[in-house]
Amino acid sequence: MKNWITHPKVEGKASRQAHCDLPEGTYERELGKEGFFGPAAHMYHPNAPTGWTDFEGPLKPRAFDTTRLDTSTGSPWEATELMHNAHTRIRQWKSDGKMDHLVRNSDGDEMLFIHAGAGDLYCDYGRLPFRDGDYLMLPRGTMWRIQSEAPVELLLIEATNSSYMLPDKGLLGPHAIFDPAMLDTPKIDEAFKAQQGEGEWKVRVKRRNAISTITYPFNPLDAVGWHGDLMPVKINWRDIRPLMSHRYHLPPSAHTTFLANRFVICTFVPRPFETDPDALKVPFFHNNDDYDELIFYHAGEFFSRDNIHPGMMTLHPCGFTHGPHPKALKNAFTPKAEGTEEVAVMIDTRDALEVTEQAESIEWTGYVDSWKG
């Protein structure tokens, strides 16, 4: 139990309810601990907190366009690494869809988010078909490969030395957002049995980010059955039923999909806008001083960002105020549509992300200037 130094009070011209009833002519800015789970203060300013005219230094917001990566490879270990820290590695993989070998991650659980394409994943546990918008969680040590008739684009999120878990949904109960019964698992079906047999197979194992190759005179995906409570699982964003409040703009943490050690994965899916006239309809300005915030834009129109298209990523390092773009801010209380249309994957990391040279080669350096009013 954390015993925060806290003494709630209201000072000056302020609202008593966060994200609602802002004093006329003000912009709200949240300073919080523990990424929206800890104590917080809400400041009210006459000027937009992102209304800068110049920004220098490494803290600036950054954007990267993965659609500019045109290299297709046959293995996830040849994917383009974009960012990493001690607890996660984030890669973008354009697969040709035809893996002629198996892989195994011995550094941590692997999350595959299917950005484009469809096919089958074959692993120790059987066959798991996939399509665009699927999350596929593979426990550490799982042997696997994908097979598709066309290229597949994936976002790979490694939970280094860690395991993926589901968030505690508290008062909502375990069936909110998505029922665990919606998680699909691999099947030992006829297609899985058909790919078994003799013939040389190689398994490329990643450990401490180095690759070892193990050769078998048979396909090691030869299980005839299994039982237990450790297995790959799949969920599609279309099966997520987002939390909503018609009178209050919920923080991003309300959309947490998976947890790992020192980072979380959240999913933003289409939902109705708040209808209360005094409630904010766009993300509130906030510092998020405990997390780096990385968002991968999968589909739709991204209402709080301008000049962002599917396949792009934005990185907001912890320690600077961010929130809606000036264009979106005009609709803070009167949205142009009945609901959002965006689908995006957010990765909030407790430790700073290192940006690779490959990511810098596809960076949109003008992103920081797009915040200027």
Q: Of 42, 115, 249, 298, which residue is the catalytic one?
A: 249
Dihedral (Cα; 78, 80, 83, 85), 10-degree rounding: 0
| Residue 84 marked as a ligand binder | no
Two tokens, residue 141:
């040590």
| Residue 292 marked as a ligand binder | yes
Q: Give the integer Cα–Cα distance in Å for 251 and 304.
A: 14
Specify whether the CB–CB gap between 105 and 210 falls below 8 A.
no
Backbone angles phi, psi at 19, to 5 degrees: 70, 10
Q: What is the DSSP letter of 357?
A: H
Q: Give the integer Cα–Cα distance in Å for 323 and 91.
A: 26
Does the annotation mark 249 as catalytic?
yes
Q: Give the integer Cα–Cα distance in Å for 144 and 333.
A: 48
**What is the three-class DSSP state of 171?**
helix
Question: How distant, in Å, are the alpha carbons of 132, 133, 256, 311, 314 from that of 66?
Answer: 16, 17, 24, 5, 11
Nearest to 110 by CA among 204, 201, 206: 206
Annotated binding site for Fe cation: 286, 292, 322
Binding-site residue set for homogentisate: 322
- The binding site comprises 286, 292, 322
**Active-site annotation, residues:** 249
